[in-house]
Structure 1
Amino acid sequence: MTGKAESEIVHFDNVGLRYDHDREVLSDLSFTLFGGTFYFLTGASGAGKTSLLRLLYLAQRPSRGVVRMFGKDAITMPRSGLPALRRRIGVVFQDFRLVPHLSAFDNVALPLRVAGFSERDIAGPVGDILEWVGLADRKTAFPAALSGGEQQRIAIARAVIARPDMLVADEPTGNVDPDMGLKLIRLFELLNRQGTTIVVATHDMQLLRKVPSALIMRLDKGRLSDPTGALRYPPRTPA
């Protein structure tokens, strides 16, 4: 583990979310996420998983409650301060959100370019991660020429290329075969061992068994339960 392990990086206190004047889709969420920990977020379709992820990667502000990210109050912070926080979070979207006019290589390189890396320092890491996800031979292809599974792998490569402090993934194995899905989960585990906090939303109960050390957060009709104690306790570091 790196020094990020066991530090408090996300804290929700009595958070609720409603869209327009509808009933709350998330209610009374109070939990803390710790650095260097692997979390699965589970629940039936419509339970609110994607809405909670949107709060975690700061795409949505809650209707009520307190949200602290990396020690900062994300609710009262001026909007001008949010981009710096967002750069610490990698996101794998369920709908990929690749930039259509950029090649696979350039989509993956985008976070490094935004962060100011030189082209000399970009080529090696991007090539390595494209090879790791099995798409080195597709680096010049544009998203429209890629299959759904290939687009998913490019989206994951883009999310992890900058080694974020937290990775948030919405059904990241949903469009790949079981062998590639396991390979992607192993990539998340590797990042986790290096100190990145991982939050993977999934309805695949088989996936939970692939990472026995992961903590489980379960959503049911917008409320959280914690069958592994994920919401109340910092993780224990092996002796």
Structure 2
Amino acid sequence: MRYGTGAEVLAGLDLRLAPGGFYFLTGASGAGKTSLLKLLYLAQRPTRGRLRLFGEDVGEAPRESLPAFRRRIGVVFQDFRLVRHLSAFDNVALPLRIAGHDDREIEGPVREMLAWVGLADRASAKPPTLSGGEQQRVAIARAVIARPELLVADEPTGNVDAAMADRLIHLFEALNRLGTTVVVATHDLSLIGAVKGARMMRLEDGRLSDPTGELRHPPSRQPDGAPA
């Protein structure tokens, strides 16, 4: 993957994410973690090579087909990307409304999720009135509310204290036990030991090291049936 005509920021990656797996993605700043996540949630396309998602080749898929794939993916962005004029409740409810659920179905799950992330009393607050940590928690609640098949999180605990970070990782674990494949990019290596059976992927200068045996390098054809 490259941006414009610049040098490749990711090169020779070959990985298979097992359905229902839990993965931590680590590496120094500038190693390419965010770029790899962008490929996984279809914000960017690979400039060469092959990308399969949910068992289908999406690297060359028509642009109009991508929204259907994206609805199966939950994303926690580093910069939150909340809708500023909507309340915390309505931001979290967005994926359910896009999926066609009516307000009677939405009310209970959204309030339960806001309570889980410690924001039950901030449901009517809009993003500009929330702290960075509160916005992060709204973004996480929005990403997981629809039980996506793939959850991609970019530094999801970077703006919260250790106790809340632990709570959020346990939320990801609970979602993972329901079958969601989880990929968490983080600088916090202490999180990795908190999830039993989690795998670690490390990026160095745009290339993956292989501490787990799940990742191979240099590239070969990716197996069918993988989430990504």
Q: TM-score, normalised by structure 2?
A: 0.93
Q: Which residue of 2 aligns with 1:25?
A: 9
CA distance in 2: counterparts of 1:117 and 1:103, whole angstroms = 18
Q: Which residue of 2 aligns with 1:217?
A: 201
The DSSP-based 3-state class of the residue aligned with 1:26 is: coil
CA deviations 1:6-46 (Å, max 9, x no partner) are xxxxxxxxxxx111111110001111111111000000010
Give 1:77 deviation, angstroms.
1.1
Give 1:125 deviation, angstroms.
0.4
CA deviations 1:193-227 (Å, max 9, x no partner) are 11000000001111111113100111000000121
Aligned length: 217
Q: How does 1:1-239 map to 2 (within 5 A)?
A: 17-231=1-215
Is contact 1:215–1:229 with CA below 8 Å preserved after alignment?
no
AA of the residue aligned to 1:97: R
CA deviations 1:112-135 (Å, max 9, x no partner) are 001100110000100100011110
Unaligned runs of 5+ in 2: 217-222, 224-228
AA of the residue aligned to 1:119: D
Unaligned runs of 5+ in 1: 1-16, 235-239
Q: Which runs of 4+ in 1 moved over 4 A?
A: none
CA distance in 1: counterparts of 2:199 and 2:157, whole angstroms = 18
Question: Higher RCO, 1 or 2 (CA under 8 Å, sep at least 6)?
Answer: 2
Q: TM-score, normalised by structure 1?
A: 0.89
CA distance in 2: counterparts of 1:135 and 1:205, whole angstroms = 26
CA distance in 1: counterparts of 2:210 and 2:150, whole angstroms = 20
Q: Which residue of 2 aligns with 1:7?
A: none
AA of the residue aligned to 2:160: V
RMSD: 1.0
